[in-house]
Amino acid sequence: MGIISKIFNRMRSPHINYQPLIEVRVFKDAILHNLHEYQKKYPKVKFAPVLKSNAYGHGLVEVAKILDKEDTAFFMVDSFYEALILRRADIKTKILILGYCRPKQLLENTLGNVSFGIMDLEVLKNLAAKAKKNINIHLKIDTGMHRQGILLAQVEEAIRLIKSNKNIFLEGVCSHFADADSQDQEFTKAQIVEWNKAVKIFKQNFPEIAYYHFANTAGTFYSESIDANVCKAGIGLYGINTSPFTEMNLKPVMEVASIISSIKNIPAGDKVGYNITYQAKHAMRVATVPVGYNEGVDRRLSNKGGYKVAGIFCPLAGRVSMNITTIDVTDVPNVKLEDEVIVISHNRTDANSVENIAKMCGCIPYEVLVHLPSNLRRVVM
């Protein structure tokens, strides 16, 4: 199809004004506030925003655009696909791909200003044997987590392989904490010892390395004892402090809103929802909201979670369905169709904040956030 035909087809397509029933609100001032809080508290290091998994559910491109002109080391993503999305969205900041990339993508990459995390010695061997164009890498060191990275016993071979191919540029060295959010510091301190040993070796062999990064959000507490110049800004960037030792003035970044889609009165004794797990103890008014586990509402919230309507907490009545939840709106005066419903609150003291939802579900805040589907519209406020 020619260019003229494509333009004509677009012109013929009807313009549809669509207002979604669910809106994920991302507060720009909050995300910038959180980044600046970390920068002020830890001025000796740079921060690398972690944007993987759709920016922890907040919206990959939306968050990247907020941060693109900020003073950061680089953006961190998990996949080549995420890096591709950012470049197609005209994001200029340097990108580090931390996840596994197929050899063809590593060797034939055409994305500009992108570096690759190398997590395995076999991958490095293949790169050293076949790289015919310049490639920037960050080599991951396994300091005890045993998930990714080369062992300290493999460092000498890794150095030899990197030096064997002039097309490989070792831009960074990294590792990752396994237990920095724990009260018990023993394992974390042991990891730091191993890390500092490795850094010493790499500095002797590659004085031109630009980035050393180890600490995640919780690990920033240990930054004074880590030989590194970059910290990863992960969950803390989105307003959740996971360190048991550091007080941070962070602001939750996300709010999820929907509407009331139906209202009815039911008598005492009637049941609500799948498997009739909820029974009305008195005459009550119930309302449906067009969100369910397909839209990221955890099914474990059935009969114990809740949403806010007109500032009033309304408990979930019955099981969370695929696309619907039912709430008790008996205490909400003058409730009506299409009234706003706050499904997830950005006020951390609310019962339906990300952190409190995680506690109710017996999971972690990360899980609540990343389960919000990418097809839900993100709106930067």
pLDDT at 9 over 70: no
CATH value at residue 284:
2.40.37.10
How much is the pLDDT for 143? 95
% residues pLDDT > 90 (the chain): 93
Q: Is 45 within the bounds of a domain?
A: yes
Mean of per-residue pLDDT scores for the chain: 95
Co-location of 344 and 312 in the same domain: yes
Co-location of 190 and 259 in the same domain: no
Co-location of 311 and 192 in the same domain: no
% residues pLDDT > 70 (the chain): 96
pLDDT at 145 over 70: yes
Cα 238–Cα 381–Cα 325 angle in degrees, nearest 5: 75
pLDDT band at 110 (very low <50, low <70, confident <90, very high): confident
pLDDT band at 10 (very low <50, low <70, confident <90, very high): low
Asked if 20 and 47 touch (Cβ cutoff 8 Å), the reply is no
Q: Is 10 within the bounds of a domain?
A: no
Per-residue buried b or exposed e for 310-321, using 16+ beta carbons within 10 Å of the residue's own CB: eeebbbbbbbbb
Co-location of 102 and 176 in the same domain: yes
Co-location of 43 and 158 in the same domain: yes
pLDDT at 118 over 80: yes
Q: Is 248 within the bounds of a domain?
A: no
Rounded CA-CA distance 6/13 in Å is 11
How much is the pLDDT for 378? 96
Mean pLDDT of 248-255: 96
Q: Is 19 within the bounds of a domain?
A: no
pLDDT at 200 over 90: yes
- What domain count does the chain have? 2
- Among 6, 81, 274, 359, the one annotated catalytic: 274
Q: Is 12 within the bounds of a domain?
A: no
How much is the pLDDT for 12? 63
DSSP character at residue 347? -
pLDDT at 1 over 90: no
pLDDT band at 286 (very low <50, low <70, confident <90, very high): very high
- Among 38, 46, 52, 222, the one annotated catalytic: 52
Asked if 318 and 326 touch (Cβ cutoff 8 Å), the reply is yes
Picking from 190, 205, 238, the residue at the C-terminal end of a domain is: 238
Q: Is 20 within the bounds of a domain?
A: no
- The range of the structural domain enclosing residue 314 comes to 254-380
pLDDT band at 7 (very low <50, low <70, confident <90, very high): low
pLDDT band at 297 (very low <50, low <70, confident <90, very high): very high
Picking from 207, 238, 269, the residue at the C-terminal end of a domain is: 238
Q: Is 274 a catalytic residue?
A: yes
Co-location of 222 and 100 in the same domain: yes
How much is the pLDDT for 4? 59
pLDDT band at 11 (very low <50, low <70, confident <90, very high): low
Pick from 181, 238, 249, 169: nearest CA to 210: 169
Q: Is 86 within the bounds of a domain?
A: yes
Co-location of 89 and 149 in the same domain: yes
pLDDT band at 5 (very low <50, low <70, confident <90, very high): low
DSSP three-state, residue 326: strand
Q: Is 291 within the bounds of a domain?
A: yes
